[in-house]
Amino acid sequence: MIKARIDLNMLLFDPVPGDLVWTGFPFTGYGHTDLSRCTPFLKRILAIYPHEPLPDLSFHAPVLCKYPKGCYVEEDVTLGCHQGALFMTRRVPREEGNRNSIDLASNLSFRRIHDWLTDVGTTLDVNRVLIRGFYNPDAQACIGLMKAACRTHLPTRRILHDATAASGRVIIRRGADCNARFLNKHHEALERRMGTYHDSCDEFDITERPEFETRYLLEIVTPESSASWFCRPVSRSG
């Protein structure tokens, strides 16, 4: 008897359950944050979280899910605000990379999603999309925008529903004062792919690169590591 097997890869873009953070009152997210039993089918996860918080009354705190052991999980933070980070793409002059914009965030999201889907074997008909007016930002263009964004001082803090053992993590955008080497994990991956990653080893050592004080400008961290002078709370978002 032949048994069929299905391997599942999942991409999450700012999953927001609408649940309340402080009271714990559940809405649509009740019972849907623990995916640890989705094994052995769930193989690879990419979860992308825009860093900008919405007002508390919008109930838009995203969720960090609990995944199965052995599942390859990548959680990363990107520019933009919820759905505003996933709109139309267009050409953005590099000098505009130092300002928050829907176009900038959408360009980076498009590149990230396109590359990830390609890596897991899902081919997008980009030419069909471009006919509708979309711009296809290449890796080099995205790297330029990411470097410009690293020079912009717009610190934020966004709280989460954290279903993992490391409960209490938050999303932060550090200030430009921290001299981050990369905007986020996506930025680092693009530089590696393009051959512009110059660190001699995988472990980032600021003693070897004194011009950089931290690895990522955008990151998911515990509150202790985010409580610094260059990261001020902006909203509790939910």
Q: Kindly report, residue by residue over 81-134, the tens digit of the pLDDT.
A: 988 888 888 887 765 555 657 889 999 999 999 999 999 998 887 777 666 667
Q: Kindly report, residue by residue over 181-211, the tens digit of the pLDDT.
A: 999 999 999 999 988 776 534 444 444 444 5
pLDDT at 15 over 90: no
Report yes or no: 53 and 17 within 8 Å, Cβ to Cβ: no
- What's CA 180's distance to the chain center, in Å? 16
pLDDT at 235 over 80: no
pLDDT of 237: 41
66: domain range? 8-194
Q: Is residue 33 part of a domain?
A: yes
- Which of 129-138, 148-157, 164-173 is predicted with the least confidence, judged by mean pLDDT? 129-138
Read off the pLDDT band of 238 (50, 70, 90). very low
Q: Is residue 60 part of a domain?
A: yes
Q: Helix or strand or coil: residue 145?
A: helix
Q: Of 31-35, 85-89, 124-128, 166-170, where does the model show the most confidence?
A: 85-89
% of the chain residues with pLDDT over 70: 71
- The residues, any chain, with a CB within 8 Å of residue 8's CB and separated by 6 or more, are 38, 41, 42, 43
Read off the pLDDT band of 7 (50, 70, 90). confident
% of the chain residues with pLDDT over 90: 37
Q: Helix or strand or coil: residue 187?
A: helix
Q: Is residue 236 part of a domain?
A: no
Q: Is residue 44 part of a domain?
A: yes
Q: Is residue 231 part of a domain?
A: no
Q: Is residue 182 part of a domain?
A: yes
pLDDT at 219 over 70: yes
Q: Is residue 190 part of a domain?
A: yes
| Residue keyed to tokens 């990261």 | 231
H helix or E strand, kind and range, residue 13: strand 8-13
Q: How many CB atoms lie within 10 A of CB 224?
A: 8
pLDDT of 22: 59
Q: Is residue 206 part of a domain?
A: no
Residue 48, beta-bridge partner list: 13, 76
Instruction: Please state, in angstroms and rounded to a whole number, the distance separating the CA atoms of residues 106 and 94.
Output: 15
Q: What is the pTM of this model?
A: 0.81
pLDDT of 100: 58
5 or 70, higher pLDDT = 70
Provide the H-helix boundaries in 54-160: 102-119, 126-131, 139-150
| Type of residue found at 110 | F
Tokens representing 39?
A: 């094994």
- Which of 34-38, 42-46, 47-51, 80-84 is predicted with the least confidence, judged by mean pLDDT? 34-38
Q: How many CB atoms lie within 10 A of CB 193?
A: 12
Report yes or no: 179 and 155 within 8 Å, Cβ to Cβ: no
Q: Helix or strand or coil: residue 226?
A: helix
Taking all residues of the chain, what is their mean pLDDT, rounded to a whole number? 79
- When divided into structural domains, the chain yields a total of 1
